[in-house]
């Protein structure tokens, strides 16, 4: 059996300030195997950043154990650093007053890559992330999207076994996000890199992660697939139809539940059954066909379940437990 990329057991971190104690991470236990792609989600202050700081050796656990690539990040921080790449969305690991290319050269030297390897790897990353035109630009002059791509390239320069991304797509436009996700998928496919990312973006999770860890008040509230998460809280897509003429409430449409109507039934909101597909063997086409029998549909939109909403529902459900 291979060594897990991350192995966390009963991990706890308590912040103590002026007599008061805050338990940021509370007896958390999970394992991530090499090659997995895991989304680590939760509300702000749920303990995501604290966990990542303990995984990378920045922060000392109050109790419990952490093994990153099989090593204790407190005792062997530098060895762990050689095996992992980390991108903190809000913190740069580049040299802001130097041209971008120099940051790659310095990082290559820090990771003890020889000049040829550094150059070959830099060329590969620059090409894949389309950073050619920005190489001579001082880092402080890069746009947010350019800088984020550069940060990810910098974290991948030494071909880490594990890539930890803290909010990698925050503030990026739709196209940049999409390109970044494609790039990360390719890197995983090519090198089998394990991926752990925290995000508020449902799209990141949907397109990058096979597994979701949801943390609530420092505890692991869910560990499984995204669809499993959506199913546990019956997070549903909502179909919004605008009709040509006022119409009675569209109740009893198979595979849906009527949520409400506006303007005498001109606009109606129907929840589609849980999961990625409409449940009970009813397709969305059938749902629309049934509606069309009763009224003329002018326009329609489908609202995706929002990650924040899913998280809120899981939190609410866990509060209800005795």
Partner 1 sequence: MAEPTRGGSLAAYRTILRARMRAQASYRISFATDLLGTLLVGLTELAEVWVIYHNVPLLGGLDFAAALLVFGVTNICFAAADLVVGHLDTVPSLVRAGTIDAFYVRPLSLLGQLVTSDISLRRIGRLTVGIVVLAIAWSAAGVAPTLTNATLLGLALVSGTAIFAGLFTIAAGLQFFLIDGREFTNSFVYGGSYAAQQSSLVYPPPVRVLFTFVVPSAFVGYLPAIALIGLPGGPIADPAWAWWSPLAALAVWVAAALAWRSGTTHYQGGGG
Residue of 10, 22, 29, 112 that binds partner 1 (CB under 8 A):
112
d(CA 195, CA 34): 9
Whose tokens are 């752990």? That residue is 196
Q: Does residue 53 bind partner 1 (CB under 8 A)?
A: yes
Q: Does residue 77 bind partner 1 (CB under 8 A)?
A: yes
Find out whether 223 and 211 touch, Cβ atoms under 8 Å. Answer: yes
Q: Does residue 72 bind partner 1 (CB under 8 A)?
A: no
Burial of residue 8 (CB within 10 Å: 0-12, 13-18, 19+) is buried
d(CA 169, CA 177): 6
Work out how close the CB of 86 gets to partner 1 at its nearest, in angstroms, rounded to a whole number: 4
State which residue, 120 or 289, has the beta carbon closest to partner 1: 120
Q: Which of residues 144-183 bind partner 1 (CB under 8 A)?
A: none
Residue of 75, 91, 133, 175 that binds partner 1 (CB under 8 A):
91
d(CA 217, CA 44): 10
Burial of residue 175 (CB within 10 Å: 0-12, 13-18, 19+) is exposed
Q: Does residue 115 bind partner 1 (CB under 8 A)?
A: no
- Compute how many other C-beta atoms are within 10 angstroms of the C-beta atom of residue 44: 7
Q: Does residue 193 bind partner 1 (CB under 8 A)?
A: no
Decide the pairing of beta strands 37-41 and 211-216. Answer: parallel
Q: Does residue 22 bind partner 1 (CB under 8 A)?
A: no
State which residue, 95 or 227, has the beta carbon closest to partner 1: 95
d(CA 317, CA 56): 32
Find out whether 318 and 216 touch, Cβ atoms under 8 Å. Answer: yes
Work out how close the CB of 47 gets to partner 1 at its nearest, in angstroms, rounded to a whole number: 12
Give the DSSP per-residue string, 216-246: ETTEEEEEE-HHHHHHHTT---EEEEEESS-
Q: Does residue 92 bind partner 1 (CB under 8 A)?
A: yes
Q: Does residue 122 bind partner 1 (CB under 8 A)?
A: no
Number of chain positions touching partner 1 (CB under 8 A) = 32
Work out how close the CB of 277 gets to partner 1 at its nearest, in angstroms, rounded to a whole number: 38
State which residue, 81 or 250, has the beta carbon closest to partner 1: 81
The binding site for partner 1 (CB under 8 A) comprises 15, 49-50, 53, 56-60, 77-79, 81-84, 86, 88, 90-93, 95, 97-98, 102, 105-106, 109-112
């Amino acid at each position: 059996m291979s060594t897990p990329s991350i192995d966390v057991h009963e991990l706890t971190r308590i912040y103590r300030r002026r007599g008061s104690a805050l338990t940021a991470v509370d007896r958390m236990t999970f394992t991530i195997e090499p090659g997995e792609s895991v989304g680590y989600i939760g509300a702000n202050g749920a303990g995501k950043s604290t966990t990542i700081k303990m995984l990378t050796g920045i922060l000392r656990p109050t109790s419990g154990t952490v093994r990153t690539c099989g090593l204790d990040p407190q005792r062997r921080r530098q060895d762990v650093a050689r095996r992992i790449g980390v991108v903190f969305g809000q913190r740069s690991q580049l040299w802001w007053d130097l041209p971008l290319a120099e940051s790659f050269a310095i990082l290559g030297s820090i990771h003890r890559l020889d000049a040829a390897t550094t150059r070959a790897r830099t060329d590969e990353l620059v090409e894949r992330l389309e950073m050619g035109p920005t190489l001579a630009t001082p880092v402080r002059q890069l746009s947010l999207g350019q800088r984020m791509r550069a940060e990810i390239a910098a974290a991948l320069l030494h071909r880490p076994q594990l890539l930890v991304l803290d909010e990698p797509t925050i503030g990026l436009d739709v196209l940049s996000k999409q390109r970044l996700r494609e790039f990360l998928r390719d890197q995983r496919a090519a090198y089998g890199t394990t991926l752990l990312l925290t995000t508020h973006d449902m799209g990141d999770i949907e397109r990058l992660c096979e597994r979701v860890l949801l943390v609530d008040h420092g505890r692991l509230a869910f560990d499984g697939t995204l669809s499993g998460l959506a199913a546990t809280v019956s997070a549903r897509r909502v179909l919004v139809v605008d009709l040509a003429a006022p119409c009675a409430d569209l109740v009893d449409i198979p595979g849906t539940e009527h949520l409400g109507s506006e303007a005498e039934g001109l606009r109606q909101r129907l929840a589609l059954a849980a999961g990625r597909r409409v449940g009970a063997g009813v397709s969305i086409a059938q749902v629309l066909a049934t509606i069309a029998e009763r009224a003329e549909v002018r326009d329609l939109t489908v609202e995706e379940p929002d990650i924040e909403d899913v998280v809120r529902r899981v939190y609410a459900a866990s509060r209800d437990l005795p």
